[in-house]
Chain A
Amino acid sequence: MSTQQRSTVLWLVEQSDDGSMADASVRALTFARSLADGSLSPAASSASAASQAPVSTAGGPGGVVAVVFGGAASVPLAELSSYGVRDAYAVEPADLTGYAPQAWARALAGLAAELDAGAVVAAGTDHGSEVMAHLGAITGLPMAANCVSAACGAAGELRIVRQRWAGSLLEDAVLDGRPALVTVAADAVTAAAAGDPAATAVHGYQPALEQADLRVRATESAERSAGMSLATARVVVGGGRGVGGPDGFGVLEELAGLLGGVVGVSRVVTSEGWRPHKQQVGQTGTRISPELYLACGISGAIQHMAGCLSAKHIVAVNTDPDAPIISHADYAVIGDLNQVLPALVAAIRAREGSS
């Protein structure tokens, strides 16, 4: 496939509270750009689309087109320009700022048809996954969740690699359908800087919504949980079955406090009711990305490790030198956390006292 062919790829922009683009969304942009720049053949599509006359990008501007909900005022113009995004569609009416998954998907479906988009891409976040699932249902097209890469096959087919088991397993697959619908795995794609900054033109878009599309809308309460978040903590002190029971977490809390971090736990700890589920690190809990993850008394089941793939350094404290965690960790202390951690806390306190 020639790299001259540029398909139009719609990219759902997710924004943080301050209006800036969310990290996961920027990673999805990197993925969307790779689709637009060649891995997506304009001819790569289902037989039905192949029979439609124009396989060029007729109707679409080519390249990545940002889709922003909330009206023109909420378009993160400077950021889009710095990432070289030439076209942005601001979906109106502006009252669609309130999250309404089915309405958002309806708007994307309309815009994809209007621009003859070759793909629609969103981050594999709660919102992104939900909107893309609606888009799949509305269009009747397949949707590939949590993709990590894409390439154009020899016959022009779209070959994707996607995560299963939250990233512990990869699937090589072929994705049919035009537009190709994909979400991008949160941890697996690195956000790349744009080639050239470009002026971003903002277009308004008025979707044709059906009444049922607005049945489900989010009302947000601005309550933010106080304190440090597990997802963004710089240090996480993890506790698993080896902690022994609900009363054993005091020393982990103390150590986390000394290291400026928080406590996270494995699934067995929350399933036993020793600690609340919001502290769970893993596939069914929180994904963490700390500088240091100190995993204590945790065997290292894949459901747990899926939650700490992004940890920079993993140090395991475990009585079993053959526990799976040892083959995921950078460093290990072989021993009982109930002896090692109190000694470590004492050593840190002694050091603070002497400095």
Chain B
Amino acid sequence: MGLAIAAPDLGSALRRYAGLRSRLLPYALISPSVAAIAGILAFPLGMLVWLSLQRYGLRELIAHSGQWIGLDNYRTILADPVFRQVVVRSVLFTLACVALSVGLSTLIALLLLKVRKAVRILVMSALVFVWATPVIVTVDIWQWMFDYEFGVINYLLTQLHVGNFIHHNWFDDPIQGFTVFILVVVWGAIPFVTITLYAGLLQIPSDVIDSARVDGAGRWQTFRFVTAPMLKPIFLIVTCLSTIWDFGVFQQIYVMLNARPSADYFTIAIYSYRESFGVAKYGLGAAIAVILVLILVIVTFFYVRETVKVAEIA
């Protein structure tokens, strides 16, 4: 009797248990990712903010505890005239890099649609080669090519009568130095941006282009009013990603200047690194890093919104 009553109960309990299990399953599946990302990215991000509110130098590093000073680090940084220069320099550098990478890549991607197959394969292989080369390797290559004594660039510019570049040191003048860095960054960025844009261009149905042509649109009008709007999500992605990468450029400048950049070459990433690891002011360095993240959050807000929108639809 008791058993007979218990049996349906047991069944429903089992079913409830199975239901609970299958409801918990997705959480179990994502939990390792959440743990890794939260532990190694989100936690340090919180710690960064917390650090930026403390005096944290060598003594505090050894004692493993900082001294709470509120917003003092931010006050110091925002009053620092060097920091203002650093921000302006970083923004200009990033703008130049992003504009040139996206602009040139768009031209190359459009060119890829027009050239014959053999040329397309050649260009694609060149892009893949550059893309695959580690950044640190490319930095070494460019350092060698811009060597003041035996660099091939100085030789070529002299031969092409651009001017006398024999024994010309590109890094004496920060404007010339940053021109070199922009060249290095843009050259390294072109493959990713071009291949992504090209993949996007191939997705555009050709009948859309054809009908625009039939309706009398010229080449520029077709690009401006048909191709570009259809590519907008992809433009948004590559622009945002380029902004993030270029704003955080570190190795190109740091390694090319043999790990001893002068104050004229400080960008936000380098300044933050120097304040923390160079002169052991971790709190101050953290405050600079927080400002860097905040600037990027504003930039990337639109990207994240757009991506989520696309994902919801898909």
A and B found bound together: no
Q: Which residues of B contact A (CB under 8 A)?
A: none
